Amino acid sequence: MAYSVWHNFGGHTKQSTPIGLLRFLARVLPSPMTTGRVAGEARAATANATAAMASDSYPIWWRGIDVPPPAEWTYMFESFTGDDTGDEWALAAAIFIAQTRRRTGLGPTFAELFAHLMPETHGLPAPFPREMEFIERRRAVAAFRGHVTIDWRRRGLISFDKGVTRSLRVGRAFRERSRHRQLARLAGMPRLENGMSDPAAMNGCERAERPIADARSKGE
């Protein structure tokens, strides 16, 4: 049975065919949610949610990156900041910083510091995953180094100014260790019969155990 629709336009009656009505409805109504379309959108939403959840579960220094961090990166971060090994790494960093400042008057860059600590891998714990984009690589390096050095600064062995190039310097705890070590060596110096310290021995000890000063460059 065929159907038709009648419209009144200015006193004139016009009949619309079913085909014309269907075309009109197709223009004004939203497209139907077919089974295939619903399934496709559901899969896409699930994939996006899964990727977001996975990224949030990554370490804080690897957030916002689609691929998971390599195991070597996680291992080195735990070694750099762990309770058992963090002080040793922080002390090694402070010694390098002190040597660099004594030699150049400025602190090393973060890249130079980590290249010294990890020379075999050029300052990185391991190569990047191949699928990582350039911007993601830069973000990962900056976050990794930043969180490690923040941990070392909390230990008092190094210090730096945020956003200031070559502002790395030794921290208060490192300077105190150096002074205590010097005093301990002075207490064990050889003494003459009159109870006075041997000047030659004292001069040699002072040269060997000169405390590492926090020689900041101008403007830091």
Mean of pLDDT over the chain? 77
pLDDT of residue 11 exceeding 60: no
For the chain, what percent of residues have pLDDT higher than 70? 60
Domain locations along the chain: 21-57, 69-208
Residue 188: predicted pLDDT = 72
- Better pLDDT: 57 or 158: 158
Element at 89 (helix H, strand E):
helix 86-104
d(CA 176, CA 156): 10
Centre a 10 Å sphere on the Cβ of residue 202 and count the other Cβ atoms it contains.
14
Say whether 169 sits in a helix, a strand or coil: strand
- Better pLDDT: 44 or 142: 142
Residue 169: predicted pLDDT = 97
Tens digit of pLDDT for each residue in 47-57? 444 444 455 78
Provide the sign of the torsion angle of the four alpha carbons 175, 176, 180, 183, taken in this order. Answer: positive
The pLDDT-based confidence of 37 (bands split at 50, 70, 90) is: low
Residue 71: predicted pLDDT = 96
| 20-24, 45-49, 56-60: least confident range | 45-49
CA 169 vs CA 106, 114, 126, 157: distances in Å: 8, 14, 26, 9
- Better pLDDT: 211 or 57: 57
Q: What angle do CA 179, 182, 187 make, to 5 degrees?
A: 125
